[in-house]
Chains A and B, each alone.
Chain A
Amino acid sequence: MSKDELLVIDRVTKRFGGLVAVNDVNIEVKKGEILGLIGPNGSGKTTLFNVITGLYSPDGGTITFKGEKIEGLKPHKIAQKGIGRTFQVVRPFGNMSVLENIMVSGMFCAHEKEKKCDIEDRCHGLLKLTNLEDRVNVNAEMLSLVEKRRLEIARALALDPELLLLDETMAGLTHTEVDEALTMIENIKREYGLTIMVVEHIMRAIMRISERIVVLNEGKIIAEGSPKKVANDKNVLEAYLGKKVV
């Protein structure tokens, strides 16, 4: 393992009864890159995220983050080590205000000694970045879908992570909203020097922001490489569209 790898997923397997959701997957995420993770529905992308963040413990294999093994740790420990994530189906804390939502992860991230007012300042900065400034005191429940997705990103960033996992942050957005989201993600990466893993179904988006793409199908990696290479890969086309008959 070389030094510039932030996250190493080594032969990770996750089974649900007879179903192997993630099957012997190896992925190395380099520091500072945006790695796209694509695959048809049910190919194990979200399960893999859940395994990385500790919501599921893997049935086999190891996950190394910054040189430390993290598989089997409690999710809050993993979060405090610097992995933030968003959820495919948005899950803001509905009865808390937008600011309070972000304050939660701001307060529980690694710097324990940070004062409350400093955390609040940091959170206000994140609200500005995610364009939620004028919604500070609104209940998170009342936000629109786009705003909720942006809130989830802000909330993950408040953890001050080194690795950000974005799980379909653009699903259900309009064309213009997708463009805005892409610009925002690029800004975030530049400003915070983050490493980002993106799961996305919108091909236009994933092709534009990813530097490298890994394709999963039925829990296995079927292709890996630059967006261009992956888009023309025979296995990928088959997985998405089926085999040519004639």
Chain B
Amino acid sequence: MLEIKSQLGKLNSLTLSLAFLAIIGIFGLFAESSYTSYFYGMVELLILAYSLNIITGFSGYANFGHVVFYGLGAYFVASFITLLHPLGFIPHTFLIVIAAGGAVALLALLIGVVVLRLRGDYFAIATLGIVFAIETTIRNIKWLGEGRGLYFIGKIPLYDIKILYSYLLIIAFAVVLTSALILRRRLGYGLRAIRDDEDVAEVMGVNTAKYKVMAYAISAFFAGMAGGVMALFFSTAFPEYFLMGRSVEMFAAIILGGVGTLLGPLIGATVFWMIKDALLINFPYYHLIFFGITLIALILFFPKGILGLLNRLLAKKGKVLR
């Protein structure tokens, strides 16, 4: 933690992202509820982008199936509450969310040990397969509500969106700090070495198998918690949480912002959310067409994301943001 403390006094990616979170946090908490739900979606995407960045950004393993952890988080929360309710003992719901995140991380550990033996495109395709496999399994388990979803309405109090928003904010701060910490530790160095050349990393003493699985589990932990909060929001876990489009959104967000950086997911998720919302309101029928074109243009012209563009401007002043 010392490394983090020494960073806090200066103007850098970490302080910028924490400050930004604090600002939208305060704004979302005190504004009208309709604004809060706008920021709710933004912060949720931000958490998902940061968590995806830990595996895909740092270690270069393209995970197209990250949404599976989001969906699983929701189902774990729903299952925990369904199981605990008859016992008459329901702990604080944020604790349930954390427990769900932990369960998702454990599951990711098991999946990761198998799947992370694959590299490159093969890994990417396998991650797609995981989403379909898990979603289909859940849709066929009676106890989990099959295709209807697992309802727990009435078993916990209905929440105001602002309370759930504050849950998300805590998770968002945690994922930003964790990312910063990882980047400064052995894990971060190991993962970045793996991204550049996995064989060489191994020859330089990096236990690549272990570090990849660790990153995979950590990223699953945060995505799982975001999904858990979503389940509280609807008092239900739906199979629709496994929607592929969510995976694409987080992927687009980190590419847009700057892959593998600390500030990139924040910029990417924010800009992505704003563009998406603006297009949806102004062009309700054609927004996806415009959205696609905007994304292609951004990626064509700024392959290193918006952060890369910023850095090109900052380079003249001799500064770099990571």
**Is the A/B pair a real complex?**
yes
A105 vs B186: C-alpha distance when bound (angstroms) = 10
Contacts of A155 in B (CB 8 A): 204
A85 vs B205: C-alpha distance when bound (angstroms) = 11
B195, A105: Cβ atoms under 8 Å? no
With known contacts A104-B206, A108-B206, A91–B200 Cβ distance under 8 A? yes
Q: How large is the interface on B (under 10, 10 to 19, 20 to 34, 35 or more residues)?
A: 20 to 34
The answer to the question of A229 belonging to the interface, with a C-beta cut-off of 8 Å to chain B, is: no
Contacts of B204 in A (CB 8 A): 76, 79, 104-105, 108, 155-156, 159
A102 vs B289: C-alpha distance when bound (angstroms) = 46
Q: Mark B178-217, 1 if CB is under 8 A from A, else 0.
A: 0000000010011011011101111111111100000000
B203, A79: Cβ atoms under 8 Å? yes
A54 vs B203: C-alpha distance when bound (angstroms) = 8
Contacting residues of chain B (207-234) with chain A, CB-CB under 8 angstroms: 207-209
B202, A75: Cβ atoms under 8 Å? yes
Kindly report which residue of chain A lies nearest to residue B200, judged by CB atoms. Answer: A91
B189 to A: closest C-beta gap in Å? 5
Contacts of A35 in B (CB 8 A): none
Contact of A95 among B190, B196, B202 (CB under 8 A): B196
Kindly report which residue of chain A lies nearest to residue B209, judged by CB atoms. Answer: A74
A95 to B: closest C-beta gap in Å? 6
Kindly report which residue of chain B lies nearest to residue A158, judged by CB atoms. Answer: B204
B196, A96: Cβ atoms under 8 Å? yes
The answer to the question of A55 belonging to the interface, with a C-beta cut-off of 8 Å to chain B, is: yes
Q: Mark A138-176, 1 if CB is under 8 A from B, else 0.
A: 000000000000000001100100000000000000000
With known contacts A93-B196, A96-B196, A104–B203 Cβ distance under 8 A? no
A94 vs B194: C-alpha distance when bound (angstroms) = 11
Q: Mark A73-86, 1 if CB is under 8 A from B, else 0.
A: 01110011000010
Contact of B190 among A79, A92, A108, A109 (CB under 8 A): A108
Q: Mark A210-225, 1 if CB is under 8 A from B, else 0.
A: 0000000000000000
With known contacts A76-B206, A108-B205, A159-B205, A55–B199 Cβ distance under 8 A? yes
B205, A94: Cβ atoms under 8 Å? no
With known contacts A93-B197, A107-B186, A108-B186, A85–B192 Cβ distance under 8 A? no
Which label, helix, strand, loop or mixed, suits the secondary structure of the B interface?
helix
The answer to the question of A103 belonging to the interface, with a C-beta cut-off of 8 Å to chain B, is: yes
With known contacts A87-B200, A91-B200, A93-B200, A76–B193 Cβ distance under 8 A? no
A187 vs B40: C-alpha distance when bound (angstroms) = 61
A95 vs B197: C-alpha distance when bound (angstroms) = 10
Q: Mark A1-37, 1 if CB is under 8 A from B, else 0.
A: 0000000000000000000000000000000000000
Contact of A100 among B192, B199, B200 (CB under 8 A): B192
B197, A104: Cβ atoms under 8 Å? no
B203, A55: Cβ atoms under 8 Å? yes
Contacts of A91 in B (CB 8 A): 197, 199-200
Contacts of B197 in A (CB 8 A): 91, 93-94
The answer to the question of A195 belonging to the interface, with a C-beta cut-off of 8 Å to chain B, is: no
With known contacts A55-B199, A91-B200, A107-B186, A96–B205 Cβ distance under 8 A? no
The answer to the question of A53 belonging to the interface, with a C-beta cut-off of 8 Å to chain B, is: yes
A159 vs B207: C-alpha distance when bound (angstroms) = 14
A79 vs B203: C-alpha distance when bound (angstroms) = 6
Contacts of A107 in B (CB 8 A): 186, 189-190
Kindly report which residue of chain B lies nearest to residue A96, judged by CB atoms. Answer: B192
With known contacts A74-B207, A76-B207, A104–B201 Cβ distance under 8 A? yes
B190, B196, B200, B209: residue with the most chain A Cβ atoms closer than 10 Å: B200
A-B residue pairs in contact (CB < 8 Å), sample of 19: A54-B203, A74-B202, A75-B203, A76-B208, A79-B202, A79-B204, A87-B200, A91-B197, A93-B192, A93-B197, A94-B197, A104-B204, A104-B206, A107-B186, A107-B190, A108-B186, A156-B204, A159-B204, A159-B205
The 10 closest A-B CB pairs, nearest first, are: A108-B205, A93-B196, A105-B204, A79-B205, A75-B202, A104-B193, A91-B200, A76-B207, A107-B186, A75-B203
Interface of A toward B, CB cutoff 8 Å: 53-55, 74-76, 79-80, 85, 87, 91-96, 100, 103-105, 107-109, 116, 155-156, 159
Other than the given A55-B203, A76-B206, A94-B196, 19 more pairs (CB < 8 A) read A55-B202, A74-B202, A76-B204, A79-B204, A91-B199, A92-B196, A93-B197, A93-B201, A96-B193, A96-B196, A104-B193, A104-B201, A105-B205, A108-B190, A108-B205, A108-B206, A108-B207, A109-B205, A156-B204
